[in-house]
């Protein structure tokens, strides 16, 4: 926002974007988008957008930056939490290959239009808070045989 405090459009690609997050140094924006035909994670420059660069390889949503900006996390289509090394030392950002960290059984791919996220990461990238799906089971059925005798009736 400039001194006139009027909102301006930063980036309008004409397709669905969600889960936007700004890098800790304020130079990059990560987001998920369906621009490639499926939900993927992209990074774009800030304040000048440039061309978005795809970070995920086989589906991805809900990107989160590590506190120092040297790693980007996201949720893959196979319910794995992924990590991508980020090098911002040069003028252009470079990314490593996405690596799975662990299974993260969440319902995230069931309701893709939700704007909220199902996890967060500590600033050092070592701990995660995850909203997991618990397996719902029916309450156990208890059958009492000879119940009149149990309650003291004959």
pLDDT, tens digit, for every residue of 25-57? Answer: 888 999 998 887 888 999 998 888 888 889 999
| Burial of residue 104 (number of CB atoms within 10 Å: 0-12, 13-18, 19+) | buried
DSSP SS3 for 147: helix
Q: Domains plus CATH for the chain?
A: 17-150 (2.120.10.30)
pLDDT, tens digit, for every residue of 64-102? Answer: 999 998 999 999 888 889 999 998 776 678 899 999 998
**Beta carbons of 83 and 40 less than 8 angstroms apart:** no
Rounded Cα gap, residues 107 and 134, in angstroms:
10
**Beta carbons of 29 and 43 less than 8 angstroms apart:** yes
């Amino acid at each position: 926002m400039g001194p006139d405090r009027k909102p301006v459009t930063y980036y309008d690609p004409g397709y669905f974007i969600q889960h936007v997050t700004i890098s800790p140094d304020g130079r990059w924006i990560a987001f998920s988008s369906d621009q490639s035909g499926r939900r993927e994670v992209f990074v774009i420059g800030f304040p000048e957008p440039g061309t978005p660069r795809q970070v995920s390889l086989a589906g991805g949503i809900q990107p989160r930056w590590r506190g120092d900006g040297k790693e980007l996390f996201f949720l893959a289509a196979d319910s794995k939490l992924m990590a991508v090394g980020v090098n911002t030392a040069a003028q252009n950002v470079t990314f490593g290959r996405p690596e799975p960290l662990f299974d993260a059984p969440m319902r995230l791919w069931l309701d893709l239009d939700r704007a909220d996220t199902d996890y967060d990461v500590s600033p050092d990238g070592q701990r995660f808070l995850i909203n997991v799906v618990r397996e719902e089971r029916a309450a156990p059925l208890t059958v009492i045989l000879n119940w009149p005798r149990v309650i003291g009736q004959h």
